[in-house]
Structure 1
Amino acid sequence: MTKRLEPYRVAAFNTAKASENKMHDDSVARNFGFSGGLVPGVDVLAYMVHPAVAQWGRAFLERGLIEARFTRPVYDSETVLVTAEPAGDGLTLGVTGGELRASGSASLTAELPTFSLEDFPDTAAVSRRLPVDADSYRQDKWLGSAPRCWPPDAAAEYLAEVREADPIYAREGLMHPGVLQRVMNKVLVDNAIMGPWIHVGSRMQLLAAAVPDDELVARARVTANYEKKGHRFVELDALIVANGITPVAHCQHVAIYQPREVVAA
């Protein structure tokens, strides 16, 4: 049975103010009706990992499942609470700051699914990015990400960015699984030049614990590309692979790659 955990308090930090995605820039985000630049969804998900690791420790980093849906923005310097309520053998997760910002769940997978690398072709990111168009994320298209690694100093910097103080990562030489979500974002940005865009949800099944200096890539297939309420959405199904041989996570990733304000322009 899962234990009841105290809410986890986080002083949110916008790690992407200078990124190519100007939805994290205060002035641009306000043009889309937000109060300021958005804290990246991948970092909000990282906050949500904390109670899962508090519940299950290293086992969660090796075979945990987490799902998250981002319903309202989190802003820089806001204090938010991550709640974790027992639900059967898992946890129901929420991120609140006066109102619900994100919801989700976490659990420990008893028997891990197996994935063949042959089922997820090793696809390189495009050599020359072009402005996003109808073909960039065409349904059933295979996409790759440029290889990325986090050496120990970068891994420590990442922990500071997502306000993670759990000693397990330094003590056991492990990567925070939030970096895998950054790899998922790279699938989008490494294959097209986008305007402002929004990550809206993810499901991540961890398959092995990644460690600093692992070279990580995503092998992703576009499973859906559609318009809803004027926004253009893309959905990815991906295997994240370490050092070309070890699957470390199976992820589904959902994003608005063109908000309706851009579509209508």
Structure 2
Amino acid sequence: MTSRIEPYRVSAYNTAKQSENKMHDDTVARRFGFSGGLVPGVDVMAYMMHLPVAKWGRGFLERGLIAARFVKPVYDGETADVTGEEKDGVLTIAVESRGQLCATGSATLPTAAPSLSLTDFSEAAPVAERRPVDAMSYQLGKWLGTVPRAWAGDAASEYLADVREVDPIFAKEGFSHPGLFQRVMNKVLVDNAILGPWIHVGSRMQLLAAARSGDELTARARVTANYEKKGHRFVELDALVVANSRTPVAHCQHIAIYQPREQAAA
């Protein structure tokens, strides 16, 4: 049986206008053929997470599985409509904006979270000195770490406002939004190289435990692929996001174009 989920409408917000990634800058993004700066994919994925959180609540935060693929950009100030349809326990999710399909994905609620140990993922420190990205930055099989970061107090509240999250489970019960784990995955890239404009393409995330607001988050990531496709340079990561250096909270696969063909050819 198929059932429709109550749709969710978001006024999209570009949280990364001032970031190093100039793909979020209007002027630079237009040079790559876009209408303006892109709303970060990790934040579009956070919009998508509203539906499974609304449906499954704490259970999703503790053991939910979500995957997303970004098809077209979502732009600052535009309306993004997030819709969902459930069939046989699978919630299919779509994001549309300006009459275009921008992202697709799915979410499920496994009966239990998989058991993953810290020892399954090698701990690595981020590079001591970041250098401009090159062929060695994300070498196949390389282990990468991140600078620890906690989103507590005002930072946690600001994050919820930035991603337009209104579900009370976060503010009232003190849980971290799992969209923060996606931001940590982006940090794997930016904490280990100086990048030009780059694009988050898609992610798959198995939640392992519900993190709390203020937990210090890091990632232990291994490069599983590095390849050229249609002139773009892609990197794929397999990572464990860890809270407070001891609790695995998410197992993530992350795909990004770290050098768009205009940059790769320069």
Q: TM-score range by the shorter chain?
A: over 0.9
Give the superposed CA RMSD: 1.0
Partner of 1:90: 90
Matched with 1:140 is 141
Q: Runs of 4+ in structure 1 displaced over 3 angstroms?
A: none
Structure 2 distance, partners of 1:261, 1:4, is: 41
Aligned length: 265
Contact 1:2–1:89, Cα closer than 8 Å, also in 2 = no
Deviations 1:31-86 (A, max 9, x none): 00000000000000000000111110111011100000001000000001001111
Match of 2:12 in 1: 12
- TM-score, normalised on structure 1? 0.98
The alignment's TM-score, normalised by the length of structure 2, stands at 0.98
Unmatched tracts of structure 2, length 5 or more:
none
* Matched residue SS, 2:6: coil
Q: CA deviation at 1:119?
A: 1.7
Distance 1:90 1:64, change over 3 A: same
Question: Post-superposition shift, 1:3?
Answer: 5.0
CA shift for structure 1 position 181:
0.3
Structure 1: gaps of 5 or more residues: none
Instruction: Report the equivalent of 1:195.
Output: 196
User: Which AA in structure 2 matches 1:75?
Assistant: Y
Q: Is the 8 A contact 2:29 2:37 kept in 1?
A: yes
Shift of 1:121: 1.3
Please report how far the alpha carbon of residue 152 of structure 1 lies from its aligned counterpart in structure 2 after TM superposition: 2.0
CA contact (8 A) 1:93 1:105 kept: yes
Structural mapping, 1:48-59, within 5 Å? 48-59=48-59
Q: Is the CA contact (8 Å cut-off) linking 1:2 and 1:91 kept in structure 2?
A: no
CA contact (8 A) 1:3 1:55 kept: no
- What SS does structure 1 have at the residue aligned with 2:5? coil
- Measured in 2, the distance between the counterparts of 1:140 and 1:114 equals 23
Question: What are the equivalent positions in structure 2 for 1:182-221 lying under 5 Å apart?
Answer: 182-221=183-222
Contact kept? 1:131, 1:193, Cα under 8 Å: yes
Residue 62 of structure 2 contacts residue 113 of structure 2 at CA under 8 Å; is this kept in 1? no
Alignment of 1:1-265 (within 5 A): 3-97=3-97, 98-265=99-266
Cα distance in 2 for residues equivalent to 1:60 and 1:183: 19
